[in-house]
Amino acid sequence: MAKEIKFSLVYRDMWQSSGKYVPRVDQLVEVAPAIIDMGCFDRVETNGGAFEQVNLLFGENPNVAVRKWTAPFHKAGIQTHMLERGLNALRMNPVPNDVRELMFKVKKKQGTDIARSFCGLNDHRNLKGSVIGAKKGGMISQVALSITHSPVHTVEYYMGIVDKVVEYGCDEICLKDMAGIGRPNVLGELVRDIKKKYPHIKVQYHGHTGPGFSTASMLEVARAGADYLDVAVEPLSWGKVHPDVITIREMLKSDGFLVKDLNMDAYMEVRRLTQKFIDDFLGYWINPSNAKMTSLLVGCGLPGGMMGSMMADLKGFQGAINAAQRAHGRPEMSLDTLMVKLFEEVEYVWPRLGYPPLVTPFSQYVKNTALMNLFNMLSDKPRWSTIDKDTWGMILGQMGQLPGKLAPEIVELAKSKGLEFSTGNPQDNYPDELPKFQQMMKEEGWDEGEDQEELFEFAMHERQYRDYKSGIAKERFNKELEDFKAKAGAPINVVRPVVEVPKFDVDDFMAKHPDAIPVQSPVKGQLLWQVDVIDDSKAPVAGTKVEAGKAMGFVQTYYGMEELVPAADGRVITVTGKQGEHVEKGEIVAFIKSE
């Protein structure tokens, strides 16, 4: 009998692999019915990762977002799952155990069914806390193996982790191929071994498309017995994100697998709404390179999701690097040249730092170290001159055991600095903190929220939560969005009240003349608005509508002026609405083009 393969839509990961933010909750709720109507998904990844944090960053309440976003899927019988980072939970640094345990309880109450838990170092001790916490909170525990390709990351290595987490009580295993560099044949062998040894364990494959292996990997793991595959939809499929469900479904169907039907009308609606969200504001943070696959990722093994931030880092360093190049009589370097040099340095650094899987946050640690090495060497300074404290924490074992051995030069460097290596349980380094945060919330006069969800967010993301509560986060996001739009040459929407002219009552006038028509008046450096309105009381026949500007004597003109520095030459600056629309009560509509 043909085996059925089920699909999971990684909608949360689609956004966070491509940009800094996620859609607002009203946008997510809008797209949910179309996702459900596609009819081919048994699961949807809705939250976790940086989802909660980025909601705080643009001034929204992540608890409201998760509850509203998961609700329609539950009603439709579709499971939802979240991503969490083991010892780091939902942030980039270690989290106390009591906060981790509260996370699972809160997320289950908010409507999340499955906890996908990974440790960036594949340390089973960190995963034990996640398995126990998820089960205690009433969730399905899915342990994700951080997949990469190196001499130490063998099938035997991964099966050793599987043995441990199954012993701890996990329900499922996910192959998290975050950089998409897992080799298809190795992944297939791993799935076969898992299903043979633990036939009751569900296996799910999650692979990014950046270097191009993932489609072949999906076919291999499906043939080996995988139960679920993570897929995406346009316009955020392929590139460095995930394969599109249409292609994967047809490939598996042709290979003899049972797959659910796909409603193409609903697919196109998801596609339309997703593009709408991109056009609204998300697109300003999406690096165009994320739409492209590249074989350059095969060698360095970096996940495609961090390409945007990496290129931004390189661009920031480019000026300083080229200044050093000029000072030493060497030619300047293009961004592409620097990118290749950085990839080469990552390949050098990675094995010497013990082969940590290149996934959040360890991919950032390795990349940052490589970037600083590159900068220092081009400035005639030695490698390893600059290593940040978080990377040292990884090196010293404070976050878990590295898969490989550190290079002797790194061990000697640590000793020269008087640093000590840790071999104990990483969680022991981070004592419980919930009582401290409960006391701080009392002092602030803040409620702990339904199911203590506000307490959880505060304890997990203290700084971002404070910025959210104060309104600073919203202001910062709006300013950032405004700057991006200005750089992109997008229209600026500005709301201005009408500047009243002597003896001109706007309320009275609008009541009498609802068809008032605004006109454009370009003035360099200033916004000179001119509103022509019809005074039909002076028309040949009272009440006759006469088009503004067509009948002199029946048109009254009112003016206003304010200073304005256009942000980009030739860009239209809109003030409340569009040309030709009726003037809104208490507002005007005008257009200006800079000269």
Is residue 516 predicted with pLDDT exceeding 70?
no
C-alpha distances in Å from residue 21, one per residue of 103, 151, 450 = 21, 36, 25
The alpha carbon torsion through 250, 252, 253, 257 (nearest 10 deg) reads -160
The confidence band for 507, taking pLDDT boundaries of 50, 70 and 90, is low
The confidence band for 307, taking pLDDT boundaries of 50, 70 and 90, is low
- Mean pLDDT of all residues belonging to the chain: 84
* Predicted pLDDT of residue 587: 38
* Predicted pLDDT of residue 544: 45
Enclosing H/E stretch for 327: helix 307-327
Among the listed residues 229, 235, 223, the one whose alpha carbon sits nearest the alpha carbon of residue 249: 229
* Predicted pLDDT of residue 378: 84
Enclosing H/E stretch for 531: strand 526-534
Neighbour-count burial for 296-327, b at 16+ CB within 10 Å, e otherwise: ebbebbbbbbbbbebbebbeebbeebbebeee
* Predicted pLDDT of residue 285: 84
* Predicted pLDDT of residue 20: 77
Lowest-pLDDT range of 162-176, 256-270, 482-496: 482-496
Lowest-pLDDT range of 13-17, 388-392, 399-403: 13-17
Percent of residues, the chain, with pLDDT higher than 90: 61
State pTM to two decimals.
Answer: 0.80
Q: Render pLDDT for 98-107 as a digit per residue (tens, 0 to 9).
A: 999 999 999 9
* Predicted pLDDT of residue 231: 98
- Any alpha helices (H) in 489-535, and if so which ranges? 506-512
**CA 158 to chain CA mean position, Å:** 28
The residue with greater pLDDT, 250 or 518, is: 250
Q: What is the mean pLDDT of residues 138-144?
A: 98
465/62 Cα distance (integer angstroms): 10
- Any alpha helices (H) in 353-444, and if so which ranges? 362-378, 389-395, 408-416, 434-444
Question: Is residue 37 within 8 Å of residue 44, measured between CB atoms?
Answer: no
C-alpha distances in Å from residue 402, one per residue of 173, 305, 383 = 21, 23, 21
* Predicted pLDDT of residue 490: 61
The confidence band for 335, taking pLDDT boundaries of 50, 70 and 90, is confident
Is residue 298 predicted with pLDDT exceeding 80?
yes
Q: What is the mean pLDDT of residues 337-366?
A: 90
Highest mean pLDDT among 4-18, 129-143, 298-312, 366-380: 129-143
Question: Is residue 187 within 8 Å of residue 173, measured between CB atoms?
Answer: no
The confidence band for 327, taking pLDDT boundaries of 50, 70 and 90, is confident
The residue length of the chain stands at 595
Q: What is the mean pLDDT of residues 205-213?
A: 95
Neighbours of 541 (CB within 10 A): 6
Among the listed residues 457, 529, 474, 526, the one whose alpha carbon sits nearest the alpha carbon of residue 498: 529
Is residue 26 predicted with pLDDT exceeding 60?
yes
Three-class DSSP category at 594: coil
* Predicted pLDDT of residue 589: 36
Is residue 578 predicted with pLDDT exceeding 60?
no
* Predicted pLDDT of residue 514: 53
Q: What's the sign of the alpha-carbon dihedral 501, 506, 508, 509?
A: positive
* Predicted pLDDT of residue 349: 95
Cis peptide before 361 (omega within 30 of 0): yes
Is residue 503 predicted with pLDDT exceeding 50?
no
Residues 6+ apart with CB under 8 A from 296: 339, 340, 343
- Rg (C-alpha) for the chain, rounded Å, is 28
Enclosing H/E stretch for 229: strand 228-231
Is residue 590 predicted with pLDDT exceeding 50?
no
Q: What is the DSSP letter of 584?
A: P
Complete edge-to-edge strand list for the sheet that includes strand 572-575: 492-494, 572-575, 590-593
* Predicted pLDDT of residue 498: 38
Neighbour-count burial for 23-35, b at 16+ CB within 10 Å, e otherwise: bbbebbeebbebb
* Predicted pLDDT of residue 325: 83
Q: What is the mean pLDDT of residues 82-91?
A: 96
Is residue 290 predicted with pLDDT exceeding 90?
no
The confidence band for 494, taking pLDDT boundaries of 50, 70 and 90, is very low
Is residue 579 predicted with pLDDT exceeding 70?
no
Q: Render pLDDT for 519-567 as a digit per residue (tens, 0 to 9).
A: 333 333 344 444 444 455 554 444 444 443 343 444 444 444 443 333 3
The residue with greater pLDDT, 576 or 429, is: 429
The residue with greater pLDDT, 578 or 291, is: 291
Is residue 580 predicted with pLDDT exceeding 60?
no
128/117 Cα distance (integer angstroms): 10
**CA 6 to chain CA mean position, Å:** 25
Is residue 346 predicted with pLDDT exceeding 60?
yes
Lowest-pLDDT range of 356-360, 485-489, 532-536: 532-536
DSSP 67-83: HHHHHHHHHHT-EEEEE
The residue with greater pLDDT, 271 or 282, is: 271
Q: What domains are there in the chain, each with its CATH number?
A: 6-285 (3.20.20.70), 296-428 (no CATH), 492-593 (no CATH)
The confidence band for 508, taking pLDDT boundaries of 50, 70 and 90, is low
Q: Render pLDDT for 37-65 as a digit per residue (tens, 0 to 9).
A: 999 999 999 999 989 999 999 999 999 99
Question: Is residue 37 within 8 Å of residue 268, measured between CB atoms?
Answer: no
* Predicted pLDDT of residue 499: 36
